[in-house]
Each structure stands twice: as structure tokens, then as C-alpha cells.
């Protein structure tokens, strides 16, 4: 990522867009937070920080969850809080070693709701084989926290085979996407009940580490870069890649896996599926010689059947993402501006 000094934060106040994962979020982090907090250990701004502790490479990450509603088709805030942080570790090719969970609870929250979420946290952690080793609980006044907020901190051990860095990305590398996009964002949008239409759709929240392990088996250091396209969607993740590498990303629109329900909702609402959040997908950049084998490996892993190679890294357009439609028209895909969907994770 760019050196933090390159961006200046001049916005007079915080708005919802600063939390949406697009341009404003990036400006806030790189222009205000990182310059003030970034010590010598602050490396490139990835999903998780990778630290050398003795002989081990350790990944450390934290994530806050403020989704509303708390429960939605396919998951709930508790499960999301575990999977989200584990996936940030997975994007650093790290196996989780421990989780710390902080709960901010609103006075008036039903104990049964809290218990259900704590059980969801326990179940998700157990499924991933990681223990919750600590945490904190705070209570705030009624009306201040939409029921509950959760933050999770994850510690993981980086796979010694992994050599992930934007600097490793080369023109000709291929871009892999693990499955259909937009399920989570559209599910939350519909679950809020503000739109008069329904679709049979579930959040895609899940741990993605099993796919990453298969990728490392097949590709080793041919796996150059990974990112889970959460807030801001695939468009924002790939734009960050383009900016960080000063290379271009060429997408083939028809290769991008997308469910009809998501596509239909996006057509109706004027949203771009590339901007919609995901909670169980990831993007990987792979050396061309290992790309096909890597795709086969992900597809052979349960839940990875719809994975696809959606594009490639090019020298041009440097710093931007260009999507080409099957009929030949092309467009620049920019980062998300503003916030099409409030509070989705």
C-alpha cells in the first residue's frame, strides 16, 4: 500500500461513507489513523499484520462487527465475528491460534439473544479449531448499540510456504475468485425489510482457510496476493491491488460468478455487484503456470465449485481495473464511493 504520508484526510467530520470500505475508508485510514499510529512495525496495510516473532511469522488482526439486523438468512453477528477475523488471518495464509472476543451490549438486550450469539461464536470457533482465550464485556445505555457490537482479535501462525505481497504480483498473473459475489450484502439489504421484495438468498459467511491451504499445496509461492472482498466488494479490493502494485487488473465480466437473485436485485436497485460485500469469498492472484491447477484445487474443495479465473494482471491501465463485456464494451471499475448498503458487517 502507498506510504501513508501520500494521502491527506481533510474531511471535517466522520460520515457513514468512512466506514463503507471504499475510497473514504481508505482515506481515513491512510490519511489520519496510520500516520499517527504507524510505528516501525506497521508494514503494508493488508488484512492482517504479519510480525516476525523469533523464528515464527505471526499474523495479528482485529475486526469490529456492527451488522444490523443481528440475525439474517445464513448467519448472525456472532458467526460473522469469528469467520470475518479468521478470514483476515487466512488472507495472510495464517492458521488461527487464538481468538479474543469483546462484546459491547445494549441495556435491554434479551438474554436469549445474547446467549444465541455467544453460542454462535463458540460453534464457529470450534468449527475452525480455534479457542477463544479471552475478551471483555461492556454495557451501554439503551439505544446506543443496536443490540450488540462485537470485536474479535485473531492471532495466527503464517504458513512457511507463503510469500504473499503486492510486490510479488507480475503482469500476466491470473486473478481467481472463489465463488459467487454479493450474497452477503444483498441478503443483509433484504433482511432489513426496507425493500418490498424477497429473494431466496443466504449470506455466504464461512471460513475460507480450507481453500487457502489447498492453494498453498498447489501453488506454493505462485500464490502472490490474497484479499477477502468484504466491504467495498471485489471492485474495492482489486482497485487497492492495482494501486498498490501500480499495475492494471483486466476483468472479463462474463467470468464473474453471480447468482441470478443477486444480479436481479442489483439491476433493480442500480447497484454494481462488484461493489457488494462478501463474507465467505476471496480473491487470489496466481502465477500463470499454476493458475489452472489452483482453480482445479479450489473447485475440488467443498464450497469452491463455482470458483473462476476472472481476469489477469496487466501493465495497463496502471493503477486501475478495467472490465470487458463479452460484446466488446469496456469500462473502468472504480472503488466504491459512498455507501450503497448501510452497516453490513
- Residues 173-192, interacting with another protein (CB under 8 A): 174-175
Compute the distance between CA of residue 58 and CA of residue 55 in angstroms, rounded to an integer: 10
Residue 251 in contact with another protein, rule: CB under 8 A: yes
Residue 170 in contact with another protein, rule: CB under 8 A: no
The helix/strand/coil state of 182 is coil
Compute the distance between CA of residue 274 and CA of residue 278 in angstroms, rounded to an integer: 10
Nearer to another protein, 16 or 41 (CB): 16
**Is cis: bond before 69, omega within 30 of 0?**
yes
Residue 292 in contact with another protein, rule: CB under 8 A: no
Compute the distance between CA of residue 261 and CA of residue 186 in angstroms, rounded to an integer: 9
Span of 57-65, 120-128, 140-148, 303-311 interacting with another protein by CB under 8 A: 303-311
Position among 54, 193, 270, 302 found at the interface with another protein (CB under 8 A): 270
Least distance in angstroms from the C-beta of 181 to another protein:
16
> What burial letters (b/e) apply to 225-251, b meaning 16+ CB within 10 Å?
bbbbbbbbbbbbbbbbbbbbbebbbbb
Residue 260 in contact with another protein, rule: CB under 8 A: yes
Site string for another protein, 150-169 (x = CB under 8 A): --------------------
Position among 194, 198, 200, 302 found at the interface with another protein (CB under 8 A): 194
Least distance in angstroms from the C-beta of 316 to another protein:
4
Compute the distance between CA of residue 195 and CA of residue 341 in angstroms, rounded to an integer: 12
Q: Which residues pair with 60 in a beta bridge?
A: 49, 155
Residue 320 in contact with another protein, rule: CB under 8 A: yes
Beta strand 94-106 with 75-76: parallel, antiparallel or unpaired?
A: unpaired
Span of 66-74, 110-118, 134-142, 336-344 interacting with another protein by CB under 8 A: 336-344
Position among 196, 198, 200, 302 found at the interface with another protein (CB under 8 A): 196
Nearer to another protein, 120 or 243 (CB): 243
Residue 41 in contact with another protein, rule: CB under 8 A: no
| Cβ–Cβ under 8 Å, residues 335 and 22 | yes
Backbone φ and ψ of 139, nearest 5°:
-120, 135
The helix/strand/coil state of 113 is helix
List of residues 6+ apart from 33 with CB closer than 8 A: none
Nearest CA-CA partner of 56 in 155, 168, 164, 154: 155
Residue 317 in contact with another protein, rule: CB under 8 A: yes
Residue 6 in contact with another protein, rule: CB under 8 A: no
Position among 267, 289, 292, 305 found at the interface with another protein (CB under 8 A): 267
Position among 102, 153, 165, 324 found at the interface with another protein (CB under 8 A): 324
Residues that bind another protein (CB under 8 A): 13-17, 23-24, 174-175, 194-196, 250-252, 255, 260, 263-264, 267, 269-270, 309-312, 314-320, 322, 324-332, 334, 337-338, 340
Amino acid at each position: 500500500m502507498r506510504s501513508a504520508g501520500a494521502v491527506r484526510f481533510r474531511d471535517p467530520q466522520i460520515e457513514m461513507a468512512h466506514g463503507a470500505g471504499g475510497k473514504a475508508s481508505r482515506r481515513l485510514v491512510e490519511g489520519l489513523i496510520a500516520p499517527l499510529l504507524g510505528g516501525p512495525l506497521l508494514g503494508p496495510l493488508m488484512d492482517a499484520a504479519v510480525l516476525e516473532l523469533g523464528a515464527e511469522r505471526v499474523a495479528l488482526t482485529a475486526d469490529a462487527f456492527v451488522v444490523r439486523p443481528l440475525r439474517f438468512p445464513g448467519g448472525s453477528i456472532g458467526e460473522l465475528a469469528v469467520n470475518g477475523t479468521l478470514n483476515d488471518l487466512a488472507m495472510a495464509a495464517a492458521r488461527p491460534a487464538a481468538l479474543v472476543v469483546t462484546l459491547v451490549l445494549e441495556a435491554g438486550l434479551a438474554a436469549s439473544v445474547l446467549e444465541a450469539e455467544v453460542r454462535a461464536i463458540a460453534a464457529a470457533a470450534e468449527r475452525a479449531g480455534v479457542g477463544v482465550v479471552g475478551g471483555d464485556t461492556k454495557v451501554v445505555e439503551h439505544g446506543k448499540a443496536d443490540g450488540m457490537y462485537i470485536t474479535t482479535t485473531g492471532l495466527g501462525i503464517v504458513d512457511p510456504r507463503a510469500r504473499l505481497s503486492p510486490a510479488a504480483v507480475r503482469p500476466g498473473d491470473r486473478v481467481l475468485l472463489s465463488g459467487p459475489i454479493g450474497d452477503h450484502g444483498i441478503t443483509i439489504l433484504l433482511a432489513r425489510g426496507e425493500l418490498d421484495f424477497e429473494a431466496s438468498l443466504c449470506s455466504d459467511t464461512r471460513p475460507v482457510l480450507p481453500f487457502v491451504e489447498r492453494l498453498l499445496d498447489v501453488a506454493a509461492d505462485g500464490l502472490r496476493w490474497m484479499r477477502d472482498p468484504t466491504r467495498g466488494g471485489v471492485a474495492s479490493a482489486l482497485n487497492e491491488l492495482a494501486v498498490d502494485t501500480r499495475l492494471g487488473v483486466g476483468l472479463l465480466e462474463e467470468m464473474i460468478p453471480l447468482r441470478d437473485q443477486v444480479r436481479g436485485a442489483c439491476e433493480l436497485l442500480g447497484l454494481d455487484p462488484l461493489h457488494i460485500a462478501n463474507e465467505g469469498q476471496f480473491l487470489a492472484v496466481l502465477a500463470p503456470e499454476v493458475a489452472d491447477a489452483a482453480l482445479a484445487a479450489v473447485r475440488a474443495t467443498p464450497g469452491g465449485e463455482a470458483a473462476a479465473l476472472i481476469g489477469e494482471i496487466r501493465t495497463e491501465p496502471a493503477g486501475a481495473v478495467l472490465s470487458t463485456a463479452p460484446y466488446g464494451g469496456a469500462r473502468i471499475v472504480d472503488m466504491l464511493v459512498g455507501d450503497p448498503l448501510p452497516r453490513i458487517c
